[in-house]
Structure 1
Amino acid sequence: MTIASQKPLAVGETTPTPTKTFRFGELFSGPGGLGLAAKSASRNGFEIVHQWANDYDADTCRTYAANICGDESDASVIRQDIQTLDYDLLAAQGDIDGLAFGFPCNDFSLVGERKAFSGKFGPLYSYGIKALKKFQPEWFLAENVGGIRADGGKVLKVIFKDMIEAGYRIYPHYYKFEQYGVPQARHRMIVIGIREDIDVEFRVPSPAPHVGADVSARTALANIPAWAKNQEQTKQSKVVVERLGYIPPGGNAWHADVPDHLQIRTKTKLSSIYRRLHPDKPSYTVTGSGGGGTHIYHWDEARALTNRERARLQSFPDDFVFLGSKESVRKQIGMAVPPRGAQVIFDALLNSYAGIDYPSMEPSMVNMIPEA
């Protein structure tokens, strides 16, 4: 953390609050949802600035670099598989005061088979722990899906134990982002950690200030400007158009009105298959899927949403441009953390450092923190 020098005071001028800048590093950065939220957060002279980021996907790295750094080729965004990444490459970009790692959620998801630590992605959280031990940032933010709470919290207790043993007090909470102004029912487990020697207590921000916010899909998708990028339409077959004609807002392929010849013949009936948005409610969870009827579908028009519309549901601003093919962009948007919701958390963190009071609540997952 750096403290900026102050200009000499004029006669009668009071001493300003020192500006504190937290240098921010990210693992599993995605296209920049957390990066944008951190960059946008600014409270009482405290700010967070990008230092470095890492992801394995080329388009994702380009998107992050273009929007967060201003240059899609920025060297501080390192494309490499975390499992082979030399952390000295990150260190060469500079020290950090804050770290985020939204480790992949595939093996902890409630959708499909849960493999936890035995899967390909489950052990990847350990690379975040490795970074905590190497860089010793003042604070960290770790993010994963709600399904990680399954099996009585056995997986979480192991992860939390590792975070604590790395030298941090942790504040885990299950956030429902639609309660924080995001037009999407996206639920995530997020842990804020503060290094043990730092005399700061984080408090989970309450959703109370956001009660009454319009998080409807109708409002979220209204008035998208013609200049906004990523608006390519997805072609719908005649069968899909016909099927959607029988599905009401909020309904899906299993709706009773869908005639026999248009019904889906699968053993598993996922609720997201040909599911249409309800215009007066938040969207269901935006994912990176697209095939087999897993696009998000408009409530009135017989079509899938454009990527820009999906980005709107994720609370990205219209000037945030995703780079890559239409399919690549769809995946990037689906993997991202909603910046509007994440900024609420970063704002709370900065307020905690500044000693500023704000509406808060008890962390919802403290019962899963292992005893010392």
Structure 2
Amino acid sequence: MAKKKLILGELFSGPGGIAIGAEMANDTIKDFSDVELVHGWAVDYHDETVATYRRNVKGADEKTAIVSDVREITAKDLAKISKKIDGFAYGFPCNDFSLVGEHKGIDGHFGPLYTYGLPILNEFNPLFFIAENVGGIRSANEGKTLIKILDDLSNAGKGYTITPHLYKFEEYGVPQARHRVIMVGIRKDLKKTFQPPAPTHIKKQKTCKEAIEKPPIKKGADNHDLTKQHPRVVERLQHIKPGENAWTANLPPHLKLNVTGAQISQIYKRLDPTKPAYTITGSGGGGTHVYHWSEDRALTNRERARLQTFPDNFVFEGNKEAIRRQIGMAVPPEGAKVIFEAIIKTLEGIDYKSVPANIE
């Protein structure tokens, strides 16, 4: 029987975490449905990021995966690539909603970028959408930002019933404490309401050590180059135990950091091999590269990609820092997979284990 294709469109697509999650979900969706999630179009601002997307996502090429500022491309332009999309996903930039920074929220430089999803919903009226952002969005502007975003999204197109939920991805098998607000909207005329899928890894979470070592990363693997560490960094790491950082470790005076103001907990923080990794980020200066629990070094990009659940055959394009940014900004494919499975079950009217949404 021919598969019914559900076409996906993406803004702020990143290197393809959501798209690869959709491909992973196809392997399990086939057990209960004849639908298949397929790439329609994707837009991102960075050349290297789009090159990565084209290289790894099935069906993506120079015509469908586009380098553009979202402010310079219209829904009409995207309709020329694919007249319809059945699903829309966007992880609008989170800088102004993060718990680290100036907390400008909707008035910041990045805050209003969520609005660029509204014309997409108006033009295409997809069956569903996924909008992803950091946990800090809940408290931006005393909660008014999230209320405004939900109101605008629910009234876009033919209208959407939205379920916002804070997902702790380590509770879904991702070997990383990554907490994200994901809003799933189902078109109102379908008369269905999405429920967050129940966590699968409450009692036993996957550790960073398991993720990096089982199976071992092959010698010569792509994106697996070691970073040359400054001797002072190596010496500092020798005094930092697993799970400690530059502030909690017992460092001799000459190795202490001369920093005033905020003391970010991830500075020179070693992973704890008995737990999921702490959040992998895409930017930051010295000391934020994520450090091995026993070896005196930062992780390689391939190791970071493992913690983000990208498969080893997923190859990132660009220089080391561009790749680091792509990995840190991505949605973990295994996390996206779980959500896509639940969306398809919702659309098909299939029961699944769920939990009440934790955001009203």
- What SS does structure 2 have at the residue aligned with 1:192? strand
Does the alignment pair 1:288 with 2:276?
Answer: no
The whole-number CA distance in structure 2 between the counterparts of 1:98 and 1:53 is 12
Say if 2:341 is the partner of 1:359. no
1:101 alignment partner AA: Y
Q: Whole-Å Cα distance in 1 between the matches of residues 227 and 249 of structure 2?
A: 26
- Picking from 248, 252, 263, the partner of 2:256 is 263
Q: Deviations over 1:35-58 (max 9, x none)?
A: 111122132222211000000100
Provide Cα deviations, 1:55-82, integer angstroms capped at 9, x if missing partner.
01000001011100366x5310011001
- Match of 1:41, SS? helix
Within the alignment, does 1:179 sit opposite 2:171 as a pair?
A: yes
Higher mean Cα deviation, 176-185 or 61-70? Answer: 61-70
**Amino acid corresponding to residue 311 of structure 2 in structure 1:** P
In percent, how many aligned pairs have the same letter?
Answer: 53
Q: Which moved more, 1:353-362 or 1:338-347?
A: 353-362
In structure 1, how many angstroms separate the alpha carbons of the residues matched to 2:330 and 2:154?
A: 26
Letter in 1 for 2:227: T
Equivalent residue, structure 1, for 2:238: 245
2:222, 2:249 → 1: CA distance? 37
Alignment check: 8 A CA contact 1:232 1:306 kept: yes
Q: Residue 92 of structure 1 is aligned with which of 80, 89, 114?
A: 80
Matched letter for residue 157 of structure 1? I
1: CA distance between counterparts of 2:221 and 2:204? 24
Tell me the distance in 2 between the aligned counterparts of 1:228 and 1:24: 30
Task: Report matched runs for 1:337-352 at 5 Å.
Answer: 337-352=331-346
Structure 2: unaligned runs, 5 residues or longer = none
Q: Determine the structure 2 residue equivalent to 1:168.
A: 160
Is 1:307–2:295 an aligned residue pair? no
Is residue 21 of structure 1 aligned with residue 5 of structure 2?
A: yes
Please report how far the alpha carbon of residue 213 of structure 1 lies from its aligned counterpart in structure 2 after TM superposition.
4.5
Q: Distance in 1 between matches of 2:203 and 2:17?
A: 24
Residue segments in structure 1 that go unaligned for 5+ positions in a row: 1-5, 7-17, 367-372
When the two structures are aligned, how many residues end up with a matched partner? 348
Output the CA distance in 2 between the equivalents of 1:135 and 1:199: 18
Compute the TM-score of the two structures, normalised by the length of structure 2: 0.94
* 2:118 paired residue number: 129
Residues 213-237 of structure 1 deviation map (CA, whole Å, 9 limit, x = unaligned): 4410110110112252100111111
Q: Highest CA radius of gyration, 1 or 2? A: 1
Aligned to 2:273: 279
Report the residue type matching 1:195 in the other structure.
R
Report if the CA contact (8 A) 2:4-2:35 is conserved.
Answer: yes
Residues 231-274 of structure 1: CA deviation (Å, up to 9, x unaligned):
01111111000000000000001124111110011122100100
Q: Is the 8 A contact 1:46 1:354 kept in 2?
A: no
CA distance in 2, matches of 1:228, 1:196: 46
Structure 1 Cα separation of the partners of residues 55 and 131 of structure 2:
24
Q: Distance in 1 between matches of 2:147 and 2:280?
A: 28
- Take 1:218 and 1:120, find their aligned partners in 2: how far apart are those partners? 38
Question: AA paired with 1:164?
Answer: S
Give the CA deviation at 1:88: 2.3
TM-score, reference length from structure 1: 0.91
Aligned to 1:69: 58
In structure 1, the partner of 2:324 is 330
Write the distance in 2 (CA, Å) between the matches of 1:283 and 1:239.
Answer: 24
Distance 2:59 2:236 in 1: 43
Please identify, of 351-360 and 91-100, the stretch whose mean Cα deviation from structure 2 is larger.
Answer: 351-360
**1:95-106 equivalent positions in 2, closer than 5 A:** 95-106=84-95
Partner of 1:14: none
Identify the residue that residue 221 of structure 1 maps to in structure 2.
212
Kindly state the Cα deviation for residue 354 of structure 1 after the two structures are TM-superposed.
2.0
CA distance in 2, matches of 1:174, 1:79: 30
Pairing 1:36–2:27 present: no
C-alpha RMSD of matched pairs (Å): 1.4
